[in-house]
Amino acid sequence: MRSEIGVGIIGTGFMGKAHAFAYRSVASYFPESAMPVLQVVADVNEAAAEAAKAQFGFRRATTDWRDLVADPAVAIVSITAPNVLHREIALAAAAAGKHIHCEKPLAPDATAARAMADAAAAAGVVTQAGFNYLQNPLIRLARDMIAAGELGEITSFRGIHAEDYMADPQAPWTWRLDPAGGGGVIADLGSHIIAMARFLLGGITHVNADLETAIASRPIAPGAAERRNVEVDDIARLTLRFARGCGGHVEANWVATGRKMHLAFEVAGSKGSLVFTQERLNELQFYRVGDDPRHAGFVRIEAGPQHAPYGRFCVAPGHQLGFNDLKVIEVAAFLQAIAGQAQGSGEAIGPDFREAWEIQKVIDTAIRSSASRSWQAVS
């Protein structure tokens, strides 16, 4: 008989829904996992909470996340509330002995992130931060290839996460612009590409960053004449040094007109290189030194069953995973970590709170570097 595990989700927006989709689907694709049961959904907006309850079949809805955390039927707490609330919720959940998934960025700053990681460790609960793009089988392939030395000695990383959802100067002020929540784009999108850089290449030791606000003020609400000054960054450019010895560059940009999902990187080594963009998430370009020069070039690898866990979703190559499938893989990894299971190569995929704290340190260092106009060691 298959075991069940109770889930509570805090927040019902983009990510709250994505989590609910994933928890409802995961058992089909990963039948060896525990069966998640949607127990409680929380949203400060009661109508939204009730709607989510109806849509996804939660047992109950609440407007109080504390109520959710306290519910004994809830074993997993999924935090998709605004960043500024992550710490308080996570600490409460850890204290209640719940396993915790928290959306990225983990916290407004590294101090908070560390507190969350420490609390979870002390409580002995399993944690996961929502860097779902790392769950792509092709990203896992990339990491494995780099780790196995297939690219030789790495010389350079260049990454970007660019979208345009804040490019319109009339796009109103949102909680993402609240400086109490940490940075602007460096936290929201920068955390993704920093997570990617670390996932592929390991530790970042030094940062030299230039953060800028491209749109100085925003309407306080959609259509409002009154505007509020923006105090966080719209564009972040980071020059990096990695612990392994190479350098790199990442950009985060949410005013990148025309870009919808341009999370992209190129990593070059002495024996090969890889090129990727999330715009075509089922493709990875690979160049290998030493091929017959008549035939040499970048190979367009298409995702297929040979790239686990793609085969869970489709037995045929080239049929393509979607964004929500990445969330399913993320949830599966979390459930397997909770069950003490190894996935694939013997380790759970994706950052836990300790790794998310490391990512947060890079973000904090970038903010510090930009403010001081100087190189800063990551700390």
Residues 50, 188, 234, 355: which binds its own copies (CB under 8 A)?
234
CA distance 46 to 27: 29
Part of the chain binding its own copies (CB under 8 A), chosen from 49-57, 83-91, 121-129, 221-229: 49-57
What are residue 236's DSSP bridge partners? 211, 252
Under DSSP, is residue 131 helix (H, G, I), strand (E, B) or coil? coil
Under DSSP, is residue 103 helix (H, G, I), strand (E, B) or coil? coil
Which one, of 218, 159, 216, lies nearest residue 191 by Cα? Answer: 159
Do residues 199 and 348 lie in contact, with contact meaning Cβ atoms separated by under 8 Å?
A: no
Applying CB under 8 A, what is the total number of residues that bind its own copies? 93
Question: What count of Cα atoms within 13 Å lies in the side-chain half-sphere of residue 36?
Answer: 33
Part of the chain binding its own copies (CB under 8 A), chosen from 59-67, 103-111, 191-199, 277-285: 277-285
Q: How far is the CB of 300 from its own copies (least distance, A)?
A: 5
Nearer to its own copies (CB atom), residue 123 or residue 277: 277
Residues 60, 66, 228, 280: which binds its own copies (CB under 8 A)?
280
The answer to whether 27 contacts its own copies (rule: CB under 8 A) is: yes
Strand pairing of 154-162 and 247-253? Answer: parallel
Residues 4, 171, 298, 354: which binds its own copies (CB under 8 A)?
298
The answer to whether 18 contacts its own copies (rule: CB under 8 A) is: yes
The kind and range of the H/E element at 99 are strand 99-102
The answer to whether 253 contacts its own copies (rule: CB under 8 A) is: yes
Do residues 186 and 367 lie in contact, with contact meaning Cβ atoms separated by under 8 Å?
A: yes
Part of the chain binding its own copies (CB under 8 A), chosen from 102-110, 120-128, 222-230, 272-280: 272-280
Nearer to its own copies (CB atom), residue 223 or residue 293: 293
The answer to whether 57 contacts its own copies (rule: CB under 8 A) is: yes
DSSP label at residue 50: H
Phi, psi values for residue 272, rounded to 5°: 180, 180
Q: Residue with structure tokens 């994706």?
A: 350
Part of the chain binding its own copies (CB under 8 A), chosen from 163-171, 188-196, 349-357, 360-368: 163-171
Q: How far is the CB of 75 from its own copies (least distance, A)?
A: 20
Considering only residues 132 through 151, tell me which ones interact with its own copies, judged by CB under 8 A.
141, 151
Residues 45, 174, 270, 345: which binds its own copies (CB under 8 A)?
270
Residues 97, 149, 179, 318: which binds its own copies (CB under 8 A)?
318
The answer to whether 14 contacts its own copies (rule: CB under 8 A) is: yes
Q: How far is the CB of 357 from its own copies (least distance, A)?
A: 26
Count other Cβ atoms within 10 Å, centred on residue 379. 9
The answer to whether 242 contacts its own copies (rule: CB under 8 A) is: no
The burial class, CB within 10 Å (0-12 / 13-18 / 19+), for 170 is exposed
Cβ neighbours for 115, distance < 8 A, ≥ 6 positions apart: 87, 91, 107
The answer to whether 314 contacts its own copies (rule: CB under 8 A) is: yes
Bond prior to 309 in cis (omega within 30° of 0): yes
The answer to whether 4 contacts its own copies (rule: CB under 8 A) is: no
Phi, psi values for residue 313, rounded to 5°: -95, -30
Do residues 135 and 349 lie in contact, with contact meaning Cβ atoms separated by under 8 Å?
A: yes
The answer to whether 54 contacts its own copies (rule: CB under 8 A) is: yes
Q: How far is the CB of 45 from its own copies (least distance, A)?
A: 16
Binding mask 187-226 for its own copies (x = CB under 8 A): ---------------------x-x-x-x------------
The tokens describing 14, both together, are 């983009």
Considering only residues 59 through 98, tell me which ones interact with its own copies, judged by CB under 8 A.
none
Which one, of 336, 290, 347, lies nearest residue 143 by Cα? Answer: 347
The answer to whether 251 contacts its own copies (rule: CB under 8 A) is: yes
